[in-house]
Amino acid sequence: MSSYQLNAGSGPTRAMGSSGEPSYMDLSNMPVDNKQQQTMMWQQNQYMSDSGIHSGQTTQAPSISSKSHGDEIDDGDMDPSKMMFDWGLGGDAYNQEQVDEINQQLNQTRSQRVRAAMFPETMPEGVQIPSTQIQPDQPTAVQRLSEPSQMLKHAVVNLINYQDDADLATRAIPELIKLLNDEDQVVVYQAAMMVHQLSKKEASRHAIMNSPQMISALIRAMANTDDIETTRCAAGTLHNLSHHRQGLLAIFKSGGIPALVKLLSSPLESVLFYAITTLHNLLLHQEGSKMAVRLAGGLQKMVALLQRNNNVKFLAITTDCLQILAYGNQESKLIILASGGPGELVRIMKSYTYEKLLWTTSRVLKVLSVCSSNKPAIVEAGGMQALAMHLGHQSQRLVQNCLWSLRNLSDAATKMEQMDNLLMMLVQLLSSNDINVVTCAAGILSNLTCNNQRNKVMVCQVGGIEALVRTIMQAGDREDITEPAVCALRHLTSRHMEAEMAQNAVRLHYGLPVLVKLLHPPSRWPLIKAVVGLIRNLALCPSNHAPLREHGALPRIVQLLIRAHQDTQRRASISSGGPPLSGYVDGVRMEEIVEGTVGALHILAREAHNRAVIRGLNCIPLFVQLLYSPIENIQRVAAGVLCELAADKEGAEMIEQEGATAPLTELLHSRNEGVATYAAAVLFRMSEDKPQDYKKRLSMELTSSLYRGDTNWTDPPGFDDMAMPLEDSRDHMYNPHGSQSNMYGGGHHVGRGLTGYEQVPIDSMQGLDIGSQHSSNYGPMDNLPDLANPGDINFDNLDPALGPPTGDNPNLWYDTDV
């Protein structure tokens, strides 16, 4: 192999080295018409060994190259006289003129001969080229060299295709690195272009990847240049490299990420594409990239890009990057929030139809929706409605992600308007075959109907009751589905215009049997609690009383009550003396079960037959015991159910026999209006059979004890539309020992309450306005019954002076201006 320097040159290479070995060149990119040039050059080089020609030939347009075409082609290398020597001068004698003519001809056809020798395949058919061969056994120089030239040609062709990175690595890369670091921007640009071209072929790409200095030089050039084309080439190179693990590693190690993030502000779209795709690959496959991108401020830039761009594929990649960065990283989610992410993402969901983009965006929203700061922002930006738009999409993955996001967001969206479309879709999705879809839909409905009248009415109107009942039936013992569905029904059956319709609808769609069944094992406490609450609501509708009884709801509810109550008693005895143990079983406190079951029995007891059953189950002792509970809600429901039971004579008698009078009287002093009122009502009903006189005194007693704490009484629950749970409105600052001064506006009578009661234990008497302010006819309260002691109060010992002062009153009848 001759040591020819093949300087076909695809770039401004000044020196390809002079070691004599053939160099690898990327000739495939060269335009074909330059073959002529190449041929000419080879033609020249034939006569030069180790010439080390630095031709500097470029294959680009002259305007770009700093050197013009054909500068250094030496035309004067052909020495005709040499040829003539080869020929010898034997044979015919030609005169000088003829010789000159022949020489000229031969000169002109020389290139053809050389071309024929080297590239016989390129010769057109039937062309006669004058031969210079004089003697058959003495081949011409061209002929002699034709074979080696052919071999060379083959070798070059092989080299062009041969993946020999070692060679390139040792030869071209160091030079390119130097050029990339050059001060001259144009040089840098050329070098970058060269590298870009090289990076398109696999062998050279590997060479580049394996050279960390090359990568560093590229990144530096990319970051420091003002020329956008250089940036583009460099970015393109990195993009090509990013399809391989080594490339990713190399880029990462050389600090490519900050530079790429900087490129995200570029005005040139191709640069943006290269940058975001490279970053995407890094985030997907390169360990440590996420942290680096976050540190480099990538999140803010990516969110900003969402605004600028309309290309759906670009947006899909960008949102996927955001999702990778935000998953599991709270800080990233907050940064996205601060950069206005939720608004942009919701806008994308609303505006585009490209499935992949919708899918990636829904995943970002899903990741953000578990963050409590992002949630309200997404909801306020209209996220619920935007996600709802795609619930009918044929792409299952999109629908599923939307549902997950909606479910996560749903507890923050209970006050949103314009949810009608969403609610309709959700009711439809309840009939889906996919379990996940049904689970999510039930959960979302449960939350959205919580405390929201408009949503409740809407769901009822679109057949939600029927759909939910059917869902519960089909779900069997899958509590993931039944629990939210039952909760949704519970919301739908109370406190809105269509509640009564809903209560009837559950029955009409055969919901009662399956609901009562859910009270039994294997149901766990959360589900049981929900079902009990639903049954309570259903019992508000009189038509449900008999069916519920027939399906055996009452005994089971009582059973649950007893179990829960025993559990609380056990805990109380364990921790006697100390703070009460609040025991959670499956995340439910047994006190809640007690309250729920008694509450249900309270409403069920509106019907006479049910009352008989309840009495027959021997619950009254338990109810009376519950009156002693420290929890106000339990007191209230216990007093409530006793109130209903006391409507029957047998019930009233049983209640009195259980010694309820004492705790009930105690409860008259309760600061909870409901408790006090129910207690008063029970006592009242219990006194139906008593003598008139007794009744009068009792009612005096009751009303005075009911009204002595009137400073802080708010409206009773019956009159307000209570959106808040009952307990909240009961947060009184009431101080039973200090309210005297508030009651009497002018501050007088302050001391009166205390001094007159000395013979009686103070505790229960404090705050009792037994006497009236105006008339002093009520004598000292010597004989007041001892209300602090449990046990039956003997009303017969009441001082007659306490009776209503008919006829005793010397005061004139008068009126007061208010």
Partner 1 sequence: MAGHTAGEPLECYSIPIVLEKEPDIDQHGNPIREPDGKQRYRCGFRIGGGIDQDPSQSPQGYSDKGVYVTYIHDNSPASRCGLQLHDKILQVNGKDFTLVTHKQAVESIRKKPVLKMLVYRKGVPSLQKPPNTMVSHTQFQAYPHHGQPQQYSTQQPQYQPQY
Contact call for residue 582 and partner 1 (CB under 8 A)? no
Tell me the window of 70-78, 420-428, 572-580, 671-679 that interacts with partner 1 (CB under 8 A).
Answer: 671-679
Q: Quick one: 172 or 445, whose CB is closer to partner 1?
A: 445
* Residue from 743, 770, 793, 801 binding partner 1 (CB under 8 A): 743
Question: Which residue lies nearer to partner 1 by CB, 8 or 548?
Answer: 548
The reply to whether 375 sits near partner 1 by the rule CB under 8 A is yes
DSSP for 80-129, written as a single string: HHHHHHHH-S-SSPPPHHHHHHHHHHHHHHHHHHHHHHH-GGGSPTT---
d(CA 755, CA 768): 12
Q: Are 382 and 346 in contact (CB under 8 A)?
A: yes
Cα 260–Cα 263–Cα 269 angle in degrees, nearest 5: 125
Does residue 520 interact with partner 1 by CB under 8 A? Answer: no
Among positions 28, 98, 703, 759, the unique one binding partner 1 when judged by CB under 8 A: 703
533 binds partner 1 (CB under 8 A): yes
Q: Does residue 689 touch partner 1 according to CB under 8 A?
A: no
Residues 406-445 that bind partner 1 (CB under 8 A): 407-411, 414, 443
Residue 625, C-beta contacts closer than 8 angstroms, at least 6 positions apart: none
Contact segment (CB under 8 A) with partner 1 among 131-139, 362-370, 552-560, 787-795 equals 362-370
Give Cα separations from 815 to 23, 31, 749, 811 (angstroms): 120, 115, 21, 12
Alpha-carbon distance of 126 to 273, in angstroms, equals 53
Q: How far is CA 332 from the centre of its chain?
A: 12
Rounded to a whole number of angstroms, the minimum distance from the CB of residue 323 to partner 1 is 8
Q: Minimum Å distance from CB 284 to partner 1?
A: 7
Point out which span in 229-237, 260-268, 402-410, 788-796 binds partner 1 (CB under 8 A). 402-410
Q: Tokens at residue 214, please?
A: 């090359």
Q: Where are the beta strands (DSSP E) in 496-648?
A: 584-585, 588-589
Stretch that binds partner 1, among 69-77, 170-178, 695-703, 780-788 (CB under 8 A): 695-703
Q: Which stretch binds partner 1 (CB under 8 A): 5-13, 116-124, 576-584, 799-807?
A: 799-807
# binding residues, partner 1 (CB under 8 A): 86
**Considering only 95-103, 163-171, 304-312, 629-637, which stretch makes contact with partner 1 by CB under 8 A?**
629-637
Decide if residue 373 touches partner 1 (CB under 8 A): no
Site for partner 1 in 709-738 (CB under 8 A): 710, 713, 715-719, 722, 725-727
Determine which residue in the list 18, 19, 265, 775 makes contact with partner 1, applying CB under 8 A: 775
Q: How many angstroms separate the CA atoms of 532 and 601, rounded?
A: 10
For residue 136, is the peptide bond before it cis, meaning its omega torsion is within 30 degrees of 0? no
Q: Is there binding between residue 367 and partner 1 (CB under 8 A)?
A: yes
Q: Scanning residues 148 to 207, which ones bind partner 1 (CB under 8 A)? A: none
H-helix or E-strand spanning residue 594:
helix 590-604
Which of 67, 153, 220, 495 contacts partner 1 by CB under 8 A?
Answer: 495
> What is the CB neighbour count within 10 angstroms for residue 572?
14
Count other Cβ atoms within 10 Å, centred on residue 340.
16
Q: Please report, as residue ranges, which positions from 330 to 359 form the binding site for partner 1 (by CB under 8 A).
A: none
Across-strand partners of 588? Answer: 585
**Residue 598 touches partner 1, criterion: CB under 8 A:** no
Tokens of 171: 């030869």
As measured in angstroms, the least distance from the Cβ of 566 to partner 1 is: 23
611 binds partner 1 (CB under 8 A): no
Report the nearest approach of partner 1 to the CB of residue 640 (Å).
6
Which of the residues 201 through 230 are near partner 1 (CB under 8 A)?
none
| Minimum distance from residue 494 beta carbon to partner 1 (Å) | 6
Using CB under 8 A, pick the residue from 464, 511, 674, 756 that binds partner 1: 674
**Binds partner 1 (CB under 8 A): choice among 19, 772, 789, 797:** 772
According to CB under 8 A, which residues from 226 to 285 bind partner 1?
Answer: 284-285
3-state secondary structure of 585: strand
- Give the ranges where 225-351 is alpha helix by DSSP (H): 228-241, 245-253, 256-263, 269-285, 289-295, 298-308, 312-326, 330-338, 341-351
Q: Which stretch binds partner 1 (CB under 8 A): 330-338, 512-520, 613-621, 770-778?
A: 770-778
Q: Which residue has the tokens 């013979």?
A: 759
Least CB distance to partner 1 at residue 471 (A): 17
**Pairing status of strand 588-589 against strand 584-585:** antiparallel
Among 104, 122, 707, 788, binds partner 1 (CB under 8 A): 707
For 552, counting Cβ atoms within 10 Å of its Cβ (0-12 exposed, 13-18 middle, 19+ buried), the class is: middle
The only residue of 327, 352, 694, 795 in contact with partner 1, by rule CB under 8 A = 327
- List the one residue from 636, 660, 667, 683 that touches partner 1 (CB under 8 A): 636
Q: Are the C-beta atoms of residues 70 and 89 closer than 8 Å to each other? A: no
- Using the CB atoms, write b or e for 350-369: b if 16+ within 10 Å: eebeebbbbbbbbbbbbbbb
List 61, 226, 774, 794, residue binding partner 1 (CB under 8 A): 774
Check binding of 700 to partner 1 (CB under 8 A): yes
Q: Nearest approach, Cβ of 62 to partner 1 (angstroms)? A: 48
What tokens appear for 775 in the block?
Answer: 């008339």
* Nearer CB in complex with partner 1: 271/652: 652
C-beta atoms surrounding 56 within 10 Å: 18
CA distance 236 to 169: 20
773 binds partner 1 (CB under 8 A): yes
